[in-house]
Amino acid sequence: MDLGISGRWAIVCAASQGLGKGCAEALAHEGVNLVINARTAETLEQTATELRARFPAIEVRTVVGDVAQTDIQETLLAAAPQVDILVNNAGGPPPGDFRDWDRTDWLKALDANMLTPIALMKAVVDGMAERGFGRVINITSGAVKAPIDILGLSNGARSGLTGFIAGVARQHRLAGKNVTLNNLLPGAFDTARLQKTLQVASQANGDLNAVTEARIKTIPAARFGTPEEFGAYCAFLCSNYGGYITGQNLLIDGGAYPGTF
Ligand code: NAP
């Protein structure tokens, strides 16, 4: 299936590995030129080199730095000749007990997981509307729908972003100009972050295999998702066929969320 987005430009934040990289790969496969970002120069350049080798027809540019910093956001925006597709992503806030978090912890989580996506969207959506094509994907979390107690910083910041998107995506000046804004909600995906979470959980009982098996048992699909599957869903939403899907929170979790809706 040709998604019809060859030659377009995408910014994919936090994309040297994991879900962001999965999205970058799937877009590259469709012939989309990329600006990719992460804080560690070495791994970001490795990913860029890999993408250039696999997809020689596209251009891949890199911007090293924390996407929550204003100067890095400006550099990212300046690196693409125009932004047709924006994939917002960043590391998730740390787990913990809300009694231990102060204002600084909250502002850090809000900056990375709510205010940064909003700032990048603000910079690009009106230009997208003028050109008659735009796709914004925010990588949030299944925890927005089924909150996890110890992820309070994430639940709070991502819910704020979710509420914001629900309103702005429905503006006629965006939706009516083929600009869509959607949130992709990952369940458990086999990435470095998930492995780290499993390792931390296993420190309590010392058995990584048992913790991993127990986690997998909570998922009807009986496995973790892959960044490739996540990226393919993202690429479809960013495609020419995605124009009638906007303001949605789309779970991709192997059936883990138990509700009807
Ligand atoms: P990951 O494998 O740890 O990859 C994170 C990527 O983001 C890396 O490329 C990392 O590179 C980059 N990054 C992190 N913080 C950044 C920042 N402030 N600025 C720029 N780049 C940054 O994580 P993942 O599993 O793909 O998770 C991606 C997002 O999905 C996270 O917000 C996570 O909470 C959420 N999520 C994941 C899962 C899951 O099962 N994997 C489930 C629910 C939600 P550097 O470290 O070099 O910056």
Q: Tell me, what's the pLDDT at 133? A: 98
With a 6 Å cutoff on the Cβ, whether 145 touches ligand 1 is no
| Residue 96 zone, left/alpha/beta (φ > 0; ψ -120 to 50; rest) | left
Distance CA 22, CA 6 (A): 17
- Separation of CA 238 and ligand 1 centre (Å): 20
Give this prediction's pTM: 0.98
Average model confidence (pLDDT) for the chain?
A: 97
With a 6 Å cutoff on the Cβ, whether 91 touches ligand 1 is yes
Q: Which two tokens stand for residue 68?
A: 């929550």
Q: Tell me, what's the pLDDT at 166? A: 98
- Separation of CA 13 and ligand 1 centre (Å): 9
Identify which of 13, 17, 161 to mutate to test ligand 1's pocket (most ligand atoms within 8 A of the CB). 17
Residues shown for the chain: 261
SS3 content of the chain, % helix, strand, coil (to 5): 50, 15, 35
Q: pLDDT digit string (tens) for 41-91? A: 999 999 999 999 999 999 999 999 999 999 999 999 999 999 999 999 999
Q: pLDDT digit string (tens) for 157-213? A: 999 999 999 999 999 999 999 999 999 999 999 999 999 989 988 887 779 999 999
With a 6 Å cutoff on the Cβ, whether 66 touches ligand 1 is yes
Q: pLDDT digit string (tens) for 16-28? A: 999 999 999 999 9
Q: What percent of the chain has pLDDT over 70?
A: 100
With a 6 Å cutoff on the Cβ, whether 12 touches ligand 1 is no
pLDDT band at 255; cut points 50, 70, 90: very high
> Which residue, by CA, sits nearest to atom 23 of ligand 1?
193
Nearest to 67 by CA among 99, 129, 8, 20: 20
> Which residue, by CA, sits nearest to atom 9 of ligand 1?
16
> Which residue, by CA, sits nearest to atom 33 of ligand 1?
92
Measured from the Cα of 40, ligand 1's closest atom is 47
